[in-house]
Structure 1
Amino acid sequence: MLRAAASAAAAGALVAGCDPHRDPGAVRSPGGPKSSGAGHATPVPVRAARPPTRVPGLPVQIEHGPRNGRAVALTFHGRGDPKMATALLREAERAGAKVTVLAIGDWLDEQPAMARRILDGGHELGNHTMHHRDICALPAAEAYAEITGCAARLNKLTGSIGSWFRPSQTRRATPLVTELARKAGYPHVLSYDLDSLDANDPGAAAVQRTVLDSVGPGSVVSLHLGHAGTVAALPPILDGLRRRGLRAVTTTELVT
Structure 2
Amino acid sequence: MTTSRPKKRGLWIDTILISSIFVLSAVLLFFFLAPKNDKESSVTNGVALAAPPEHQTKDSKFTGIKIASIISGDERMPYSIEYPQTEDKEFNKVIKDAVYKTRDTYLASMEEILQKDADKVGKLTITFKTLHHKKNYYSFVLTQNTYKGTGSKEKTIQTFMYDKKNNKQLFLNNVIKNENNLSKLIPFVQKQIKSDDQFKSYINTTKLKNSTTPTFSNYKNFSLTDSSLYIYFDGAKLSDNSNAISKIKIPLSSVNSILAKPFQIAGINPDGTKKKQIALTFDDGPNAKVTPKILKSLKKYNAKATFFMLGSQAMYNQKLAKKVADAGHEIGNHSFSHTNLITLSNKKIKAEINRTNEEIKKATGENPTLFRPPYGSINERVRSQNKLPVILWDVDTLDWKHRNPKTLLNMVKQYSHDGAIILMHDIQPTTAQGLDSVLAYLQKQGYEFVTISELRR
Provide TM-score, normalisation by structure 2: 0.42
Distance change >3 Å, CA 254–CA 214, structure 1 → 2: same
Instruction: Please state whether the residue corresponding to 2:307 is helix, strand or coil.
Output: strand
Q: CA deviation at 1:96?
A: 0.9
2:65 maps to 1:19: yes
Contact 2:408 2:434 in 1 (8 A): yes
Change (3 A) 1:255 1:197: same
Alignment of 1:1-256 (within 5 A): 17=63, 19-20=65-66, 21-23=85-87, 24=136, 69-79=275-285, 81-169=287-375, 171-182=376-387, 186=388, 188-256=389-457
SS at match of 1:221: strand
Could you tell which deviates more after superposition, 83-92 or 72-81?
Answer: 72-81
Residues 403 and 431, structure 2, Cα contact 8 Å, conserved in 1: no
Cα distance in 2 for partners of 1:161, 1:123 equals 13
- The 1:226–1:14 alpha-carbon spacing in structure 2 relative to 1, beyond 3 Å, is farther
Letter in structure 2 aligned against 1:176: R
Give the CA deviation at 1:158.
2.6
Q: What SS does the corresponding residue of 1:208 show, helix, strand or coil? A: helix
Gaps of 5+ in 2: 1-58, 67-84, 88-135, 138-163, 168-225, 228-266, 268-273
Q: Which runs of 5+ in 1 are unaligned?
A: 1-12, 26-44, 49-53, 56-64
1:177-219 CA-to-partner distances (Å, cap 9, x unmatched) read: 111112xxx1x10111110101114310011111121000000
Deviating above 6 A after TM superposition, structure 1's stretches of 4 or more consecutive aligned residues are none
What is the number of equivalent residue pairs in this alignment?
A: 204
SS in 2 for 1:98: coil
Question: Equivalents in 2 of 1:73, 1:131: separation in Å?
Answer: 25
Percent of pairs identical after alignment? 24
Tell me how large the CA RMSD over aligned residues is.
2.7
Higher RCO, 1 or 2 (CA under 8 Å, sep at least 6)? 1
CA distance in 1, matches of 2:310, 2:86: 25
- Structure 2 distance, partners of 1:227, 1:22, is 40
Counterpart Cα distance in 1 of 2:318 and 2:402 = 26
**Amino acid paired to 1:224:** H
Larger relative strand fraction: 2
Alpha-carbon displacement from aligned partner over 1:41-91 (angstroms, at most 9, x marks no partner):
xxxx9579xxxxx99xxxxxxxxx9xx751110010032631321111110
Whether the aligned pair in 1 keeps the contact of 2:335 and 2:373 (CA below 8 Å) is yes
Amino acid at match of 1:139: S
- After superposition, give the CA deviation of every residue in 1:103-150 in whole Å (9 maximum; x if it has no partner): 100001110112211011111111111111111221111111110010
Residue type of the partner of 1:78?
Answer: D
Distance in 1 of aligned mates of 2:447 and 2:370: 23
CA distance in 1, matches of 2:358, 2:323: 18
Which sits farther off after the overlay, 243-252 or 103-112? 243-252
Instruction: Answer yes or no: is the 8 Å Cα contact 1:47–1:120 preserved in 2.
Output: no
- Structure with bigger gyration radius: 2
TM-score for the superposition, normalised by structure 1: 0.72
Q: Which amino acid aligns with 2:317?
A: Q
Counterparts of 1:245 and 1:172, CA distance in 2: 33
Supply the distance in 1 between the matched residues of 2:411 and 2:347 (Cα, whole angstroms).
37
Instruction: Measure how far apart 1:15 and its partner are.
Output: 5.1
Tell me the secondary structure at the aligned position of residue 290 of structure 2: helix
**Change beyond 3 A, Cα 1:129–1:17:** farther
Q: What CA distance in whole angstroms lies between the structure 1 residues aligned with 2:166 and 2:402?
A: 33
Instruction: Say if 1:172 and 1:191, in contact at 8 Å, map to a contact too.
Output: no
